[in-house]
A = this chain, B = another copy of it.
């Protein structure tokens, strides 16, 4: 997605070896125009897939996910992230390890919002190690629903997340793919949409 790649080059900040900060349009301050455009690109990509739900994880995934949901005219569900969770009836959960924060969290979705008939598009802001997406895929699987694809705003292609998801037989659609960081700049791979 050219508009997104241009925005990353203009407004993204590269910190250290491999951290990309996009807090001025995605992860803290949010540019609704870009989010809306992103939502439309995901919807076009999955126009023929019969998506019935968009699922994301709080908090930075919510804005792109709600616009994808709008463009596909389906509900959006955001999974909750907890440090400690008391198991509650009807709550589907998965354990997710954050390599960045080096903590395990529990991700959850109320089972009543997913059924065997659902075809789900997962949306998230970043794909790095793929642990968050893997957790969502597990939860959606517990509900018997089908994950049709994983839509990512920014993929760090030098990490393992994409392969992890593709090895589960699930398509990844990343709108920007970062090949590597080099002397304070970044190089893109060809994006999926």
- By a CB distance below 8 angstroms, the chain B residues around A171 are none
In the complex this chain forms, how many copies of it are found? 2
Query: In the complex, what distance in Å separates the CA atom of A187 from the CA atom of B110?
Result: 27
Known contacts A59-B59, A62-B63, A63-B62: does B70 contact A32 (CB below 8 Å)? Answer: yes
| Extra inter-chain contacts (20) besides given A28-B80, A63-B66, CB under 8 Å | A28-B77, A28-B78, A28-B110, A28-B113, A29-B75, A29-B76, A29-B77, A29-B110, A30-B62, A30-B69, A30-B75, A30-B78, A31-B75, A32-B75, A33-B70, A35-B66, A36-B70, A59-B62, A63-B63, A83-B83
Q: How far is the CB of A139 from the nearest CB of chain B, in Å?
A: 13
Q: How far is the CB of A142 from the nearest CB of chain B, in Å?
A: 16
- Considering the complex of A and B, which 3 residue pairs feature the smallest CB-CB distances, nearest first? A58-B59, A59-B59, A62-B62
Q: Per-residue CB proximity of A26-60 to B under 8 Å, as 1/0?
A: 00111111011000000000000000000000110
A-B contact pairs, 14 of them (CB 8 A): A24-B113, A28-B78, A28-B110, A29-B76, A29-B110, A30-B62, A30-B66, A32-B66, A32-B76, A59-B78, A63-B63, A63-B66, A66-B67, A83-B83
- By a CB distance below 8 angstroms, the chain B residues around A33 are 70
- By a CB distance below 8 angstroms, the chain B residues around A66 are 30, 32, 35, 62-63, 66-67
- By a CB distance below 8 angstroms, the chain B residues around A28 are 77-78, 80, 109-110, 113
Query: In the complex, what distance in Å separates the CA atom of A122 from the CA atom of B156?
Result: 33
Query: In the complex, what distance in Å separates the CA atom of A58 from the CA atom of B69?
Result: 19
